């Protein structure tokens, strides 16, 4: 190598290193807002016929990129959140809400999370809101329960988050109390009345709760904590970028809007609750703008699954489609159960008022954010990126780019490949036991509402997709 060639290569290396360092120094803050049981059709940014007014979510869509074919990792809370945080398809490990009864955390110690991955890249990792992924619990008789005389283990602080304020599950799960890190603020020594819908009937029951715990104040308290955290972070000299995971407890049942929103939608308590959620999105977005953090913050808004069956039914009776044109609702393998609103905003980096039909899944956030913060392509391996996580970073910056995603398996049971979807809505049947004859095939490009089963017209596609589904089922490693 000549002296000139060596000097040239050295110069290029210096330029490369400088560019990389600048990129790392400009890593964005990341704020992830996860709604609880919000339907694809509940906000007008995704359903122009929506009867619920959601001006703040709509404004966010105008400021960023709207995904029209984004999917939660599952159709119910626990597996969806597991897939979101780990990048692992819950169908691969058998994660379901029922695992919460085992008294052990859903996310194993050897499974990386978005928080632990971002923490390894120098992020300050915070969480506020609903966890719903289990803890280490004590066995009391036939049940597992918290032992509040000891620090709580196995939760957010043991899965990559530096702080957590929130509730352990939904506001219909006992006990009802606030956690701050490893301890509860007040022990659940009292009780509270909770009302939920069961089909056409309303059921009322008592749950253990901390003294003074208010169902209607859960969301406002969590929202205030998030806004304050953003202001406190902005007021301090920062050495680390911020990752804030805000897991909203609403609009999940029980529907208990505050006085400010009670009756505001004219569509009943669920519609009011959606409007209250919309206000939360507006408050967090406003806090980022007021503090000057917005220009260097990637703000993501989405929902953990589709609308609850009670909300879906009641809203339908009033002419509002919580799933939009999609079929089904929460807990279904149909599109209404897991196709969710998804908006990403990063001023100056993500084109404003843009839209993409790229197919993405919650599991893909792991690879996407890893590629973003490490300034290198996300490569799938057991040591780095989970098998089920496919980066869509190129879509964020160029929404018109073609994004090809491998087949996507849903634990409900279904498999999606491009516009084709093979499905059988049978949650209680194990994937290894379902047979091809019971599956239905849909062309989502022509039939997004899954109304016309075309399995008989396309036997080769049906057979190929079922073969992929069966291979996936055979290679699962289920948690116990």
Which sign does the torsion angle of CA 191, 197, 199, 204 carry?
Answer: positive
Residue 377 confidence (pLDDT)? 72
What is the rounded average pLDDT of the residues 65-84? 98
**pLDDT of 208-223, one tens digit each?**
999 999 999 999 999 9
- Least confident segment among 8-22, 43-57, 177-191, 421-435: 8-22
Q: Which CATH architecture has domain 31-406?
A: 3-Layer(aba) Sandwich (3.40)
Residue 379 confidence (pLDDT)? 64
**The domain 414-474: what is its CATH number?**
3.30.1120.10
CA distance readout (Å), 78 to 335, 350, 426 = 18, 30, 18
**pLDDT of 223-235, one tens digit each?**
999 999 999 999 9
Task: Please check whether residue 31 is in contact with residue 129, taking contact to mean a CB–CB distance below 8 angstroms.
Answer: no
Residue 426 confidence (pLDDT)? 83
**pLDDT of 250-300, one tens digit each?**
999 999 999 999 999 999 999 999 999 999 999 999 999 999 999 999 999
Distance of CA 69 to the CA centre of its chain: 14
**pLDDT of 123-175, one tens digit each?**
999 999 999 999 999 988 888 999 999 999 999 999 999 999 999 999 989 99
Does the pLDDT value for residue 386 go beyond 50?
yes
Does the pLDDT value for residue 474 go beyond 70?
yes
Residue 387 confidence (pLDDT)? 94
Please, which residues have CB within 8 angstroms of residue 451's CB and are 6 or more apart in sequence? 327
Domain ranges in the chain are 31-406, 414-474
**pLDDT of 408-431, one tens digit each?**
999 889 999 999 999 998 877 899
Is residue 390 classed as helix, strand or coil in its secondary structure? coil
Q: Per-residue confidence at 339, pLDDT binned at 50, 70, 90?
A: very high
Is residue 412 classed as helix, strand or coil in its secondary structure? coil
Task: Please check whether residue 392 is in contact with residue 364, taking contact to mean a CB–CB distance below 8 angstroms.
Answer: yes
Which sign does the torsion angle of CA 7, 8, 14, 17 carry?
Answer: negative
Residue of 417, 466, 419, 410 lying closest to 440 (CA atoms)? 466
Q: Is 305 exposed, middle or buried (0-12, 13-18, 19+ CB in 10 A)?
A: buried
The CA distance from 396 to 373, in Å, is 14
Please, which residues have CB within 8 angstroms of residue 145's CB and are 6 or more apart in sequence? 137, 138
Task: Please check whether residue 26 is in contact with residue 373, taking contact to mean a CB–CB distance below 8 angstroms.
Answer: no
What letter does residue 28 receive in the DSSP assignment?
Answer: P
Percent of the chain whose predicted confidence (pLDDT) is above 70: 93
What is the rounded average pLDDT of the residues 440-456? 98
Q: Per-residue confidence at 197, pLDDT binned at 50, 70, 90?
A: confident
The CA distance from 304 to 283, in Å, is 20
Does the pLDDT value for residue 8 go beyond 50?
no
Does the pLDDT value for residue 10 go beyond 70?
no
């Amino acid at each position: 190598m000549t002296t000139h060639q060596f000097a040239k290569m050295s110069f290029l290396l210096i330029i490369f290193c400088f560019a990389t360092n600048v990129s790392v120094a400009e890593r964005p803050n990341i704020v992830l807002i996860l709604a609880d049981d919000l339907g694809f059709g509940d906000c007008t940014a995704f359903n122009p016929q929506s009867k619920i007014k959601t001006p703040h979510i709509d404004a966010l869509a105008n400021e960023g990129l709207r995904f029209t074919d984004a999917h939660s990792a599952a159709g119910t809370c626990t597996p969806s959140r597991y897939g979101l945080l780990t990048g692992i398809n819950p169908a691969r490990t058998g994660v379901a809400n029922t695992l919460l009864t085992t008294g052990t955390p859903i996310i194993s110690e050897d499974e990386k999370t978005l928080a632990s991955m971002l923490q390894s890249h120098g992020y300050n990792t915070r969480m506020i809101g609903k966890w719903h992924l289990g803890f280490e619990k004590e066995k009391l008789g036939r049940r597992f329960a918290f032992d509040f005389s000891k620090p709580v283990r196995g939760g957010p602080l043991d899965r990559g988050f530096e702080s957590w304020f929130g509730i352990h599950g939904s506001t219909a799960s006992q006990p009802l109390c606030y956690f701050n890190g490893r301890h509860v603020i007040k022990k659940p020594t009292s009780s509270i009345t909770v009302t939920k819908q069961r089909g056409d009937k309303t059921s009322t029951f008592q749950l253990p709760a901390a003294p003074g715990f208010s169902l209607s104040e859960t969301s406002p308290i969590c929202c205030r904590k998030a806004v304050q955290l953003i202001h406190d972070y902005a007021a301090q000299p920062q050495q680390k970028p911020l990752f804030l995971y805000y897991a909203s407890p609403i609009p999940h049942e029980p529907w208990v809007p505050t006085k400010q929103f009670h009756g505001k939608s004219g569509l009943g308590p669920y519609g009011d609750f959606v409007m209250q959620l919309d206000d939360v999105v507006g408050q967090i977005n406003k806090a980022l703008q007021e503090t000057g953090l917005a220009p260097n913050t990637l703000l993501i808004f989405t929902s953990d699954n589709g609308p609850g069956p009670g909300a879906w039914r009641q809203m339908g009776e009033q002419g509002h489609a919580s799933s939009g044109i999609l079929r089904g609702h929460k807990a279904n393998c149909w599109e209404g159960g897991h196709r969710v609103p998804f908006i990403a905003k990063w001023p100056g980096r993500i084109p404003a008022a843009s839209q993409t039909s790229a197919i993405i899944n919650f599991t893909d956030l792991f690879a996407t954010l890893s590629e973003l913060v490490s300034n290198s392509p996300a490569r799938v391996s057991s040591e780095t990126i989970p098998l089920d996580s496919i980066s869509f970073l190129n879509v964020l910056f160029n929404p018109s780019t073609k994004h090809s995603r491998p087949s996507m398996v849903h634990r409900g049971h279904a498999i999606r490949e491009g516009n084709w979807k093979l499905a059988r809505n049978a949650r209680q049947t194990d994937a290894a036991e379902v047979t091809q004859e019971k599956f239905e095939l849909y062309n989502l490009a022509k039939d997004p509402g899954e109304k016309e089963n075309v399995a008989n017209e396309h036997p080769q596609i049906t057979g190929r997709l079922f073969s992929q589904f069966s291979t996936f089922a055979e290679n699962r490693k289920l948690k116990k």
